[in-house]
Structure 1
Amino acid sequence: MADIFAVIADPTRRELLRLLLDRRPDGGESSVGELVTALGLSQPTVSKHLRVLRDAGLVHVREEGQHRFYSVDEEPLSEVSTWLAPFLGVVETAPQDARDLASLPPWTSPVPVPAPLRRAAENLPAAGDVGTSLGRAVAQAQSRILDPVKKRLGRADHP
């Protein structure tokens, strides 16, 4: 299992897995070309990452002529999810049904979650950092641009 963590530590490979998971309701396969287009990376780079995912048993490959089609193998991801469950702090006071639903990994959810919503939820912890950076940038712009103009016009804010 340690190998799986090393494999999914790479952000490009996580994005590849996410793209393949998003395709699951539509048949679950994506060609290398589709993945190259979606990621905006070169074909050799995407193929290298797909080979690492395949060697780790995280994806299946189907060859059709010179084309390769990839899909997610959910079994290793379920094992990782099961192993991580005790560390995620499932609330013990919740009704059993709620705990069961909360413990489902996203790739086994009975209701497909739209990709933009899943990405937003996964990136939500970073939203605070983005908000802080944005707030600082606005404050710096105000002190650098607006405050001198207000001062010249005699409209400086008085505390």
Structure 2
Amino acid sequence: MTDIFDVIADGTRRDILQLLLRRSTEGESGTSVSQIVSELGISQPTVSKHLKVLRDAELVSVREDGQRRFYSLEVDPLEVVDDWLVPFLVDAFGEDAPDIDWTTVPLPDGAAHAAEVVGRAAASAKHVVTTALRRLGA
């Protein structure tokens, strides 16, 4: 399975995930590639490339209807991110750590930026550790 942090480190993929989340909370049973292209203003080949990465990471599922494909969000793989992130929140707040409740609204811009920074930092840290282990022959 692909490292979830590498997958969500990309801003375009996070935009697609947020779009799928929003549409699912609006009652949609799937979102077509053309709808994603239209709403995000990015090219169809770019959307398809990112959807393949998201499918490989099992973050989206696909339903075929004739020649059209409809994508839906799969949140279970994000539990890895949640499990990794929560200890940092507990360490930062100690006994005053807030209860974390899953909300189904898109992230505000500030939170989206923070998620991007954390995702990039995690991907960078993974690269540094992997490179160091290779050099050590481990």
| TM-score for the superposition, normalised by structure 2 | 0.70
Gap runs ≥5 in structure 1: 126-159
> 1:18 Cα shift?
0.9
Question: Which residue number corresponds to residue 35 of structure 2?
Answer: 34
Q: TM-score, normalised by structure 1?
A: 0.61
C-alpha spacing 1:37/1:99, structure 2 compared with 1 (3 Å)? same
Q: 1:80-111 deviations in whole A, cap 9, x for unaligned?
A: 112221123452333xxx733xx23xxx32xx
In structure 2, what residue type is equivalent to 1:26?
Answer: E
Provide the rounded CA distance (Å) in 2 between the counterparts of 1:35 and 1:23.
Answer: 10
State the match for 2:74 in structure 1. 73
RMSD over aligned Cα atoms:
2.2
Aligned to 1:83: 84
What percentage of aligned pairs have identical amino acids?
52
Q: Give 1:129's aligned residue.
A: none
Query: Partner residue of 2:58?
Result: 57
2:19 — aligned with what?
19
The secondary structure found in structure 1 opposite 2:62 is strand
Note closer, same or farther for the CA distance 1:79–1:35 as it changes in structure 2 (3 Å cut): same
Cα distance in 2 between the residues matched to 1:41 and 1:19 = 13
Aligned CA distance change for structure 1 residues 25 and 46 (closer, same or farther; 3 Å): same
| Residue 120 in structure 1 maps to residue 113 in structure 2 | no
Considering Cα pairs closer than 8 Å and 6+ residues apart, tell me whether 1 or 2 has the greater RCO: 2
Deviation at 1:12, TM superposition (A): 0.7
User: Quick one: distance in 1 between partners of 2:89 and 2:79?
Assistant: 14
Q: What count of residue pairs does the alignment treat as equivalent?
A: 112
1:43-74: per-residue Cα shift (whole Å, max 9, x none)?
11101100110011111111111111111111
Give the unaligned 5+ runs of structure 2. Answer: 115-138
CA distance in 2, matches of 1:78, 1:27: 23
